[in-house]
Amino acid sequence: MQSALLLVLLNIGSVGRFATLWRCVASGVLKRHVFFCALTTLVSVGSILAARGHLHPFYEFWMATQWPIAALQAAAAIEAFWGLARHFRGIRNFGWMLLGVILSVAAVAAASVWFFRTRWDSPLRVPLLLDQYTGLWLVLTAFLSLAFFRQFPKVPVRPNAIRHLIALTILFGGNFIAYSISQLSRGQARFSTNLVIYCSAVVAYGWWVLKINRAGELLPFAPPPPMTNAEFDTAEAAHRQSARELKQAGSEALRRTFR
């Protein structure tokens, strides 16, 4: 019964991943989510192998792709961060600084999990620890990015950028919880581990397919009317002043986010 449930969830997740890739192309957002799509494609191959119900060659594929998947997950998280940050013109340098702070805080939190590791003599221990640390690091990166940028509600942001980060938060958060269960149980709670992984994938990719669309790429305000050259110069000067004020406000928001 448990195996049947996991197989159903695994297949639903696989359908969700393929639907996500299709939606990404059909909605014209592929160029904004290159690393996310590469990650989804690689994980989809593993899901197809797992659905066959045989240990081999799935085990070899899973072991061989741990580092590539971790790298693609990190790239997808950074890609999603800039998906939000690019809405704030004039803060490119500050954005890199903010990203560095967020990644550092998340990395320190993930590294702290090392002190709660269990003694477990298994060839799966190291790759599962990698998945656990990566999951916590990335879910914190996604969450802190959302927490920071939500402090500027007056800045128009494409809905897809926020929806995408929410999907990543669900996906990475589920991975962290699942691999934490696996470590704490020393690999004995396989059903619970796989259940959390498959459920989070179903929810995350289902959310992505239902929420990401062409309309979500539009900024939530009407386009401005045509301007004369003088009006444009005045608007640019005001915008540069706003950018300077935004940097100052960003420093204050960064302080409040990590307070």
Q: How far apart (Å, rounded) are the C-alpha atoms in residues 33 and 38?
A: 9
> Residue 230's pLDDT is what?
63
Token readout for 219 is: 């900024």
Mean pLDDT, range 153-170, rounded to an integer: 84
**Cis omega (within 30 of 0) for bond into 57:** yes
Q: Phi/psi zone of residue 117: left (φ > 0), alpha (ψ -120 to 50 degrees), beta? A: beta
At 195, the pLDDT band (50, 70, 90 cuts) reads very high
At 248, the pLDDT band (50, 70, 90 cuts) reads low
pLDDT over 80 (residue 5)? yes
Give tens-digit pLDDT for 72-117.
888 888 888 888 777 666 556 656 666 676 667 666 665 665 555 5
At 222, the pLDDT band (50, 70, 90 cuts) reads very low
pTM (predicted TM-score):
0.74
Mean pLDDT, range 148-165, rounded to an integer: 78
For 201, counting Cβ atoms within 10 Å of its Cβ (0-12 exposed, 13-18 middle, 19+ buried), the class is: buried
**If you average pLDDT over every residue of the chain, what do you get?**
76
256 CB-near residues (< 8 Å, 6+ apart): 151
